[in-house]
Structure 1
Amino acid sequence: MLPPIDESVLQSNPKFAALYSTLTNNILNPSGSTRKHPAQKERDAVSEALKSARIQDAKTQLIRSGLKSLDLSPPSTSTSTSTRASAKQAAKQQPPLPSELIELILLLSARLSSPSLPTSSTHLLETTSQWCSLPTHLPTISSLLSSHLHTQALALSRIHAPTTNASFLHRTIPKLVPGTHFLQESIAKKKAALEHRRQALVSNTTTLLSIYHLASALTIQILESSKHGGAARHARAKADLLSAQAAETKLDAGEKKARAEKQVYSEEVRRALANYVRHLRDARERLRERRSAAERALWGYGVGRKEGEGLEKEKVMKEIARVYGELVKEVAEVGRDVERLRSR
């Protein structure tokens, strides 16, 4: 894999970004190997040879594992009623293998599993009667091995296509290899896309953090300029000046008030005002005394009483006051009439 480069580095270095783009798109593979090598043809030939060797080795491994995994056990001889019908059907479908064939399969599996046997052991093995019968039993062994591999392929097809009907799984067996290659390529592409997105996420996160840092710095700068800048200092100085002027005006007003009070309220005026205050106090006391005397007189006439003889007196006094008021009005009207007659 090529080393990831931060997007900010590419943006701040355009020439390096162009070089990196040329390397990744035209010269190097995603694995870091070169695309245009002088010995590319020889490398391709070696790759093809290795591919053929891997395929041949895979076939050999399939044959070895298939021979080891063959079911060589005899069919079950259980006499239970529930399994008797299935046992008969299995016996019809797959007859028991001959002992000579079983021994040959075991010898062949051991021979293929241990290719580096001593020469004497190899000669002894190949001269046995079971080994000499290999050409005769080879079609049967091939048929058994083919059935076993077909069963495993069906199991892989069931995993590869779980929604396919079981009766059609044999049709998907030829698609196992290209389907597996397609899945591997898809996984590799998605992995590369995930790595690319991860790198882009790191770059975007770095960019976001730098933007956030810049916003914080600008905010702090604005706050500092608004609090300690020229405009703030000017406003503060002006406010201090206005405050000092207001304090001076207040002191001047207090001084002028004191002078005016001295000029208006002289010693004679103050004594006169003090005498007038005492006169008002005495008048208030006299009014209180007269009010108390009037209330006592009215009480004697029944004013203020709520029941008994005092209530009757109060009614009589109110009636007398009403009649007196009417008489005063009549006297005033008679006086006006007399004045009119005199004027004639």
Structure 2
Amino acid sequence: MIPPIDDLILQQNPEFEALYTILTTVILNPDASTRKDPSAKKRAAVKKELDNHRLRTAKHHLLINAISTAHPTTDQPPPPPPLPPNEKPSLLRRPARSQSQSQSQPSSYQPPPLPLAQPPPPPLPQSLLDLLLLLPPLLSPTNPIPLYQLPLLLSNPPFSLLPTHLPLLSSFLSQSLHTTALTLTRLGQPTTNPSFLHRSISSLPAFTSTQLETLQHKKYSLLRSRLSLAAAVSSLLDQQAYILRKLTRSLEAKHGPISRSLEYSAAETALVAQKQELEIRSVGRAARKEVYSPEVVTALGNYARHLRDAKGRLGERIKGLEVELGEYYCRRDGERDKERKMKEMARVYVDMGRQLEEVRKDLERLA
């Protein structure tokens, strides 16, 4: 098959399009074979011979398959006797009557007597069943039997009885082939009424050939549709990319200067803030240098060390007083009165100290 070419490529290359048109319409067939080949006749003869060989092989395969599937599982009656040549088959057949009998018959219709029950059909002979089982391996080309063994094999039962069982065997094969043909017709025409499928068996080869050709054309059309779809998708993506580029440029033209101005303003403000922070730090360091001279800084350091030492001594003094105060607490129940007296004396001492302080302040004020 000729590979399809994208229509966009053909449109963009007119010379190649003309060459492709000549190739597909004048020089080559749809299957990519040349139309003006000097050995076409010879190849056609070989192809015809190959088709005949395929046909014989297919018939042989169908025959083997029909024999393999025609093995009866139940007793089947022998084929019905043939009809006379001047008589046509009919579903409703009545015996012929003479004109006198028809005139003497009364006008009232009397139904014919019911037929007697048919006896059960005789069972199939064992030799026929053996033939149905042994014929497929014998006809199979995969395991051929040597030629010198064929006369001995065909001269003994059940193969020697093949002419005797040939009518019944033919009916089995016909029924199997008919069933297979009906199955194929049902698969090819699923919408047809099953009661009319037998009418389409004769047109099954033409129908199959038409369906195969249609399938080939559909495959080719599908390939071309896929290429067209790919070209359309590619064109759509190109258009979307073009639209995105235009939109980006439009947004940059509209909002680019404003955003850049805001960005520059923010950067400038950040730099001004950093500058002011550095200036404040430098001013703070200069003010500390002016207020605290080196002598003052040394004196403050010495004073801080003195305060730390005084704090340590005060803490030790507090701990010693707490220890001494703990000795005044009662250790037994009999010393609780003593504890109350000591607390009362401490309270009186504090009050007297406060009163003495007030008297001292009054004397200083009067003086």
TM-score, structure 2 as length reference? 0.51
Preserved contact between residue 127 and residue 158 of structure 2 (Cα < 8 Å): yes
Q: 1:144 deviation in Å?
A: 1.3
Higher helix share: 1
- What is the deviation of 1:221? 5.5
Match of 2:159 in 1: 131
Distance 1:184 1:203 in 2: 29
Question: Which of 107, 129, 146 does residue 134 from structure 2 map onto?
Answer: 107
Q: CA deviation at 1:143?
A: 1.8
Describe the shift of the 1:89–1:45 C-alpha distance in structure 2 as closer, same or farther (beyond 3 A).
farther
The 3-state SS of whatever aligns with 1:143 is helix
Residue in structure 2 matched with residue 61 of structure 1 by the alignment: 61
**Cα distance in structure 1, aligned partners of 2:188 and 2:58:** 20
The question of whether the paired residues in 2 share the 8 Å contact of 1:158 and 1:169 is answered with yes
Q: Distance in 1 between matches of 2:134 and 2:27?
A: 53
Please tell me whether residue 194 in structure 1 is matched to residue 222 in structure 2: yes
Alignment CA distance shift 1:179-1:90 (3 Å) = farther
Alpha carbons of structure 1 residues 74 and 224: separation in structure 2 relative to 1, 3 Å: closer
SS at 1:199 equivalent = helix
Tell me, in whole angstroms, the C-alpha distance in 1 between the residues paired with 2:187 and 2:224: 31
Q: Helix, strand or coil for the counterpart of 1:133?
A: helix
Residue equivalent to 2:280? none
Matched residues, number: 217
C-alpha separation in 2, matches of 1:154 and 1:5: 42
Which one scores higher on RCO, CA 8 angstroms, separation ≥ 6?
Answer: 2
Cα distance, 1:225 vs structure 2? 6.9
Instruction: Give aligned-pair identity as a percent.
Output: 40
CA pair 156-7 structure 1, distance change in 2 beyond 3 A: closer
Write out aligned runs for 1:1-344 (5 A). Answer: 1-75=1-75, 91-92=120-121, 95-114=122-141, 116-220=144-248
Note closer, same or farther for the CA distance 1:4–1:193 as it changes in structure 2 (3 Å cut). closer
Q: Structure 2: which 5+ runs fail to align?
A: 77-116, 258-367
Amino acid at match of 1:208: L
Q: Which amino acid aligns with 2:57?
A: D
Residue pair 1:66, 1:149 contacting (<8 A) in 2 also:
yes
Name the CA distance, whole Å, in 2 between partners of 1:192 and 1:102: 50
| 1:85-135 Cα distance to aligned partner (Å, 9 max, x none) | xxx98944xx53212222233332221025522234333312214323323
Verify the 8 A CA contact 1:10 1:17 in the aligned structure 2. yes
Provide the aligned C-alpha RMSD in A: 3.1
Q: What is the rounded CA distance, in whole Å, between the counterparts of 2:71 and 2:158 in structure 1?
A: 19
Structure 1 residues 126, 71: closer, same or farther in 2, change over 3 A?
A: closer
The CA distance in 2 between the partners of 1:133 and 1:27, in whole Å, is 60
CA distance in 2, matches of 1:152, 1:8: 49
Q: Which residue does 1:237 correspond to in 2? A: none
Residues 20 and 96 of structure 1: is their aligned pair in 2 closer, same or farther, counting only changes over 3 Å?
Answer: same
- CA change 1:13–1:157 in 2 (3 A) is closer
Q: Distance in 1 between matches of 2:254 and 2:149?
A: 99
User: Which whole-Å deviations, capped at 9, do the CAs of 1:239-260 have from their partners, x for residues lacking one?
Assistant: xxxxxxxxxxxxxxxxxxxxxx
CA deviation digits over 1:260-306, x for unaligned, max 9?
xxxxxxxxxxxxxxxxxxxxxxxxxxxxxxxxxxxxxxxxxxxxxxx
The answer to which of 176-185 and 49-58 deviates more is 176-185
Q: Is the 8 A contact 2:185 2:201 kept in 1?
A: yes
Which shifted more, 177-186 or 195-204? 177-186
> Aligned pair in 2 of structure 1 residues 105, 75: CA closer, same or farther (>3 Å)?
closer
Distance 1:15 1:205 in 2: 25
Name the stretch that deviates more: 22-31 or 52-61: 22-31
- Give 5+ residue unaligned stretches, structure 1: 77-87, 233-344
How far does residue 58 in structure 1 lie from its aligned partner after superposition? 0.8
Q: CA deviation at 1:223?
A: 6.2
Q: CA deviation at 1:209?
A: 2.5
Letter in 2 for 1:56: R
